[in-house]
Structure 1
């Protein structure tokens, strides 16, 4: 991980981890089936990003497609699996909690025929993602900022005594160095959808920094919350839409509530990703999402444009919107995201400094955990409302047209 460089994880082709601020890359091709409903009415052009190098010679190379089935067709059923086989496709993954669909391998001509089946709502090419963070003298100025309403910083951080106890935060990212001393035994692996096993170790660093910003004993907002690592991005900080969907689906199915999930990743508008996040929120998991690092409208990015999620922009230590931070009406609030120190994956005691909306979002995830610790039965909409209501108004300079001028605060959580 680079230190002070603004980071944003991009899905290769569709989703990106907002590494300090992840960004989704373009979908390699349009959906073959009819367009799915947007989460908003912005028909904006997607920001450009790196794209996975899938072999795509028309009709010959097999690649991965994400298939969403129509209502009434069960993806996990025998009929769902047989549907793919009927057109010569093989099933890589099955989703059933956050998305009724499949990830399949097929040639382009097979995908076209599959998309025409009445049991199918849409077929889109898989796309790539990559990474886009009373305690005295806290190591991060961000902690110092979020418990006081005005500058200057007072060199202390005071959180409620509950400090997130009883809340589980799912970090959907590059994995987490769960043995790091900052977690004090409160972090564990959930699932690794890169290696397809149960050990979600971090070979990149992004996920560890995000997790410690949420709940590290030294670096974290909610110092008693539990962390579960869900790895969807590899050691380079890249992944695919299919992997990210699998991570969200797993969290939706296995979340121990009260629960928060953090997505410091994103990309251009993508209906499948948006739908999965909405479904997971509907199941009772509160989501915090990085707004992106393109200095553009967050409404042009998924899942940042999902209204039910808490979408977070970044500020610097002077309360100015970070030069890289996305902006606009899709944001819910801002949080510190420039030069944030947090735990590093390099050893059990190491730390690193990063910038980006990927570091802003976990501050809000920690704040959500603080609220849920005292209100364990609160639904995601209630959590989001409480977090936004407690934000301080009018402090962010150059917030951007349409942006809410609200800066995260944790007092009284």
Structure 2
């Protein structure tokens, strides 16, 4: 899991009082932030090009110390930019009519719950009833012709389990290819590896946004934008799914980007979080498939977040999958990251088998196929458990 919290810049409305502006942390949990680096989100329908022209004019006439612009974001109607800006310039932006919100860029990192016993998961998503039968039954298309974009720490593309189907699609600036953490390889293995994977023929696209176990919210957004554009440019909406394992108070910008992707037909699966709290603290998106985790006995896993915003549950305890460090490396992990991997794999399976046309239909089919009434300790979550549609 990635962990992040977001902040708003608030300020007295009167321009002469700009010196009283301050960063206000919106949550009770302190997180680390990147010094003087911000995400600036524009109001709906504000043109990014026109806004940037205004900024350049301000920079040119000496009325503001601009700083360094790093990246422009355009995801549907979502427009934003990131950069290193000094406090004087930020003080001007907070009263600018084009600006919807300013978020301090944050440190993000992995947050899986590690356990060491043998895995379980594939069998239970292909059986309607709780069973000791460890057979995994699935449609023979096995996700062939689909693409899973994994926003994470990278993928060990040389692992034998991926059979050459895992490739590096995007590496954030300043990061090295590959997976030093292992987290991204583990999630990718659940999605589509030969032995541990749900969709054993899907293609896995690494979108590396973490260095070891850390990254920033702006880097995460850059990776999401790259995946969004790659899917749209190649017209893969009916064949692709994005997987994100993040938690800890998601910036609104990420939620808005996911919703824009949903409106453009692109499916995104996200982990509910490992904080045992209401998932709405983590996610405000209405477009994502939000996945909570169950334990070995179909209870909500003790660490899993919950609530009415959850889409469904999937296995998340003692899951074995691929790891970093070599072509045969494996490891057992637990977390809602792993649960999200199972759902992403099922999305790939269903897109391959049923030719699902877009994100809304895809989510509806995943919910419609889910097994009902078997999860315990829901805490307001829907009683839906992942089913792959091809089992018993």
Fold-level match, TM-score > 0.5? yes
Q: Residues 102 and 170 (structure 1 numbering): CA distance in 2 closer, same or farther, change over 3 Å?
A: same
Shift of 1:351: 0.2
State the match for 2:208 in structure 1. 231
**Distance in 1 (alpha carbons) for counterparts of 2:57 and 2:248:** 29
Q: Taking CA–CA contacts closer than 8 Å with sequence separation of 6 or more, which of the two structures ends up with the larger relative contact order?
A: 1
State the match for 1:187 in structure 2. 166
Match 1:79 to one of 46, 50, 53: 53
Matched, 1:243 2:222: no
Q: RMSD of the alignment, in Å?
A: 2.3
The structure carrying a bigger strand percent of its residues is 2
Match 1:271 to one of 224, 241, 252: 252
Match 1:163 to one of 131, 135, 142: 142
Contact 1:190 1:228 in 2 (8 A): yes
Matched, 1:9 2:15: no
Contact 1:33 1:122 in 2 (8 A): no
Unpaired runs of 5+ in structure 2? 14-25, 113-117
State the match for 1:204 in structure 2. 181
Equivalent residue runs for 1:351-362 within 5 Å? 351-362=330-341
Q: TM-score, normalised by structure 1?
A: 0.82
Equivalent residue runs for 1:18-167 within 5 Å? 26-30=5-9, 46=27, 48=29, 50-52=31-33, 54-55=34-35, 63-70=36-43, 71-75=45-49, 79=53, 82=56, 85=59, 87=64, 88-97=66-75, 99-132=78-111, 140-167=119-146
Match 2:304 to one of 325, 329, 342: 325
**Distance in 1 (alpha carbons) for counterparts of 2:265 and 2:217:** 22
**Distance in 2 (alpha carbons) for counterparts of 1:362 and 1:31:** 37
**Distance in 1 (alpha carbons) for counterparts of 2:269 and 2:57:** 35
Contact 1:46 1:301 in 2 (8 A): no
Shift of 1:96: 1.7
**Distance in 2 (alpha carbons) for counterparts of 1:370 and 1:48:** 38
Unpaired runs of 5+ in structure 1? 1-7, 12-25, 35-44, 56-62, 134-138
Contact 2:269 2:289 in 1 (8 A): yes
What is the CA deviation profile of residues 255-303 of structure 1, one whole-angstrom value per residue up to 9, with x for unaligned ones?
A: 241110001112315221111111122222211110001111001103x
